[in-house]
Structure 1
Amino acid sequence: MTIFTKKTSAKTDVSTLFFMASSAIHPLPPWQLQHVLQQLGAVANHKPKVLSETGMLPGCSVRLLDLSDQTESWITLVYPQQAQPEQGFISVLSPLGAALLGKNVGQVAEVQLFRRTLRFMLCDLMSVKQPPAFTFTPSVQEKRMNQTLPDPALPELLLSSLDLDRLDALLSRLPATDPARLALEQELERGAVVEPEEMPKDVVTMNSTVRLRLLKTGEEPCLTLVYPKDLDAAGDKVSVLAPVGSALLGLREGDQIHWPMPDGDIQPIQVLQLLYQPERAGQLHR
């Protein structure tokens, strides 16, 4: 069996996107990581079932049909310690691996990557030699996530077409594997785009000033969301490339997000008031 035969397409750069989707370079969001770990835990705690009932699990190989270019590849789903994406051994904690988990022949796995939807149909599924058993001992950070992480549903985002164009230009100058680029692209992927003059007056856009509430501490800082070049020493601005900055873009007054902090804690943040929005002030092309 040929394990990995993905073709390269210079026109769409499919091979690069496929590799990114198959590796941990593009990290899973916390809610998806938690969901995958729960699935793996459920499998480990139940009696073995036939493959037709369980679908794709670590230790299985599958023939994938890429619906964008009709190329095929055999890949094997493995635990992170056995992952070798260039050889076709895909970690279950990669975007593609997480999308494949539990899928069966005839189903389609979808991966959102860089505002593109990659779609793969599972054509053939077979068991191979089972990798070493997956043992997972939650760290302090993961325990906190399990205790405080909300439902996976996230607030709907609205983006200005002008902001999106400028952010695209900004991201194109960053390395494809830059964590800040990946985080912001992940947010932009799920946003709905409107023209500046159609932007509702309560949505956080670039150069907006917002009053936030940190729900765990009660603090209510005021921050202006800016491009990196506009940061200064005043401390009242946040870059759109910072974790909180990328999370704020496109939210509305009253929206609440849960964001991982550097110490591993999950901080609930609410948008209390939009103090200034360029579109509301008539500065449509600022």
Structure 2
Amino acid sequence: MTLFKKHASGKTDVSALFLIASSAIQPLPPWQLQQLLLQLESVAKGKRRPLSETGMLPGCSARLLDLSDQTEVWLTLVYPQQSNPEQGFISVLSPLGAALLGKNVGEVAEVKLLRRPLRFLLCDLMSVKQPPAFFPSVQENSMKHPLPQQTLSEHALPPLVLSSLDLDRLDQLLNTLPATDPARLLLEQELERGEIVEPEVIPPNVVTMNSTVRIRLPKTGDESCLTLVYPKDLDASGDKVSVLAPVGSALLGLCEGDQIDWPMPSGDIQPIQVLQLVYQPERAGQLHR
């Protein structure tokens, strides 16, 4: 079966689905996780019924229509052990998987992602031949060791400071991108958690738009000096990086000495370390550049 389909009006990016379905973006709160696990255990113990009665369960595949841009995609709902979002196998314990559980044809699953909701219409539903096995130990471990109230992503990320001027301009830029564009999702995640201050009071060691920063990639040891710019300001010099690029969105709002582990489109995690803020417009008195 083909997992991903292209609609006449648009294209679905596999890496975007990886971000939406991954708990790295917005893990389920403990109360919802425990509720889902109890529901799954009940389903596993019960007799198998027609999908028209149960709706989507682990082991089911569904064709979804993204109501924001009318793109279509086939996804299969599975338990965490079989999860592979980039291949279309979505964990029932992920935000998207939890929203799909129990939904039937004609119903809408909504994922509240940061500052906006994403809505998917369930168009078709089918069951695979061999449903995945449910492991009660997953439930037992989760009950004994509930997730902290703080999300996993927040727990690992350094504080973020943003200029109100940068935020206004970036909001305008994001509104021009498709709702499930991977670059938009990652940058929105950063903007959502940032502390917003006026340009006049931005600390002099914070990476803002049009700042020049020396960075290091700890995995490889590579160092480079880059200027963080808007996409329209990119050129062929090689010393500028767009705020929509993975490295660019990771740098925005960091301080000298910070390190962040950033998800790449391939699904890998790339550590990025800020060694030195060479130039900052606000520090140079250019508050409205």
Q: Quick check: 1:204–1:248 contact (8 Å CA) kept in 2?
A: yes
Distance change (3 Å), C-alpha of 1:151 and 1:53: closer
Determine the structure 2 residue equivalent to 1:133.
132
Same amino acid, percent of matched pairs: 66
Matched, 1:188 2:187: no
Which residues in structure 2 correspond to 1:244-263 (within 5 Å)? Answer: 244-261=247-264
Aligned residues between the structures = 203
Distance change (3 Å), C-alpha of 1:263 and 1:185: closer
Matched, 1:57 2:60: no
Determine the structure 2 residue equivalent to 1:78.
57
Matched, 1:241 2:234: no
Which residues in structure 2 correspond to 1:20-39 (within 5 Å)? Answer: 24=17, 27-29=20-22, 31=24
Q: Quick check: 1:180–1:241 contact (8 Å CA) kept in 2?
A: yes
Q: Secondary structure at the match of 2:178?
A: coil
Once structures 1 and 2 are overlaid, which stretch shifts more, 186-195 or 238-247?
186-195
Determine the structure 2 residue equivalent to 1:198.
201
Determine the structure 1 residue equivalent to 2:177.
174
Give the Å deviation of 1:174. Answer: 1.4
Distance change (3 Å), C-alpha of 1:54 and 1:229: closer
Query: What's the Cα RMSD here?
Result: 4.1
Q: Deviations over 1:130-182 (max 9, x none)?
A: x92159xxxxxxxxxxxxx9995211211111001000111111122222212
Q: Secondary structure at the match of 2:256?
A: coil
Q: Deviations over 1:21-57 (max 9, x none)?
A: xx94862456469x78xxxxxx9xxxxxxx9794343
Q: Following the alignment from structure 1 to structure 2, what is the Cα–Cα distance between the partners of residues 52 and 93?
A: 10
Q: Unaligned 5+ residue runs, structure 1?
A: 1-22, 37-42, 44-50, 61-73, 102-109, 119-130, 136-148
Q: Quick check: 1:226–1:240 contact (8 Å CA) kept in 2?
A: yes
Once structures 1 and 2 are overlaid, which stretch shifts more, 263-272 or 76-85?
76-85
Give the Å deviation of 1:275. Answer: 0.7
Q: Following the alignment from structure 1 to structure 2, what is the Cα–Cα distance between the partners of residues 218 and 247?
A: 18
Determine the structure 1 residue equivalent to 2:216.
213
Q: Following the alignment from structure 1 to structure 2, what is the Cα–Cα distance between the partners of residues 279 and 75?
A: 57
Q: Quick check: 1:56–1:100 contact (8 Å CA) kept in 2?
A: no
Determine the structure 1 residue equivalent to 2:286.
283
Q: Unaligned 5+ residue runs, structure 2?
A: 1-15, 44-52, 66-75, 78-89, 102-109, 119-129, 135-151
Distance change (3 Å), C-alpha of 1:30 and 1:253: farther
Q: Deviations over 1:176-216 (max 9, x none)?
A: 22222122112211111111111111111100111101112
Matched, 1:267 2:270: yes
Determine the structure 2 residue equivalent to 1:228.
231
2:165 corresponds to which of 145, 162, 166: 162
Q: Quick check: 1:58–1:78 contact (8 Å CA) kept in 2?
A: no
Q: Give the AA of the match of 2:184.
A: R
Q: Following the alignment from structure 1 to structure 2, what is the Cα–Cα distance between the partners of residues 112 and 159?
A: 23
Q: Following the alignment from structure 1 to structure 2, what is the Cα–Cα distance between the partners of residues 99 and 190?
A: 23
Q: Secondary structure at the match of 1:238?
A: strand
Q: Secondary structure at the match of 1:176?
A: coil
TM-score, L = length of structure 1: 0.58
Q: Secondary structure at the match of 1:185?
A: helix
Give the Å deviation of 1:99. Answer: 8.1
Q: Secondary structure at the match of 2:20?
A: coil
Give the Å deviation of 1:100. Answer: 9.9
Distance change (3 Å), C-alpha of 1:85 and 1:205: same
Give the Å deviation of 1:245. Answer: 0.7
Distance change (3 Å), C-alpha of 1:54 and 1:178: closer
Determine the structure 2 residue equivalent to 1:143.
none
Give the Å deviation of 1:285. Answer: 0.6
Q: Quick check: 1:80–1:93 contact (8 Å CA) kept in 2?
A: no
Q: Secondary structure at the match of 2:188?
A: helix
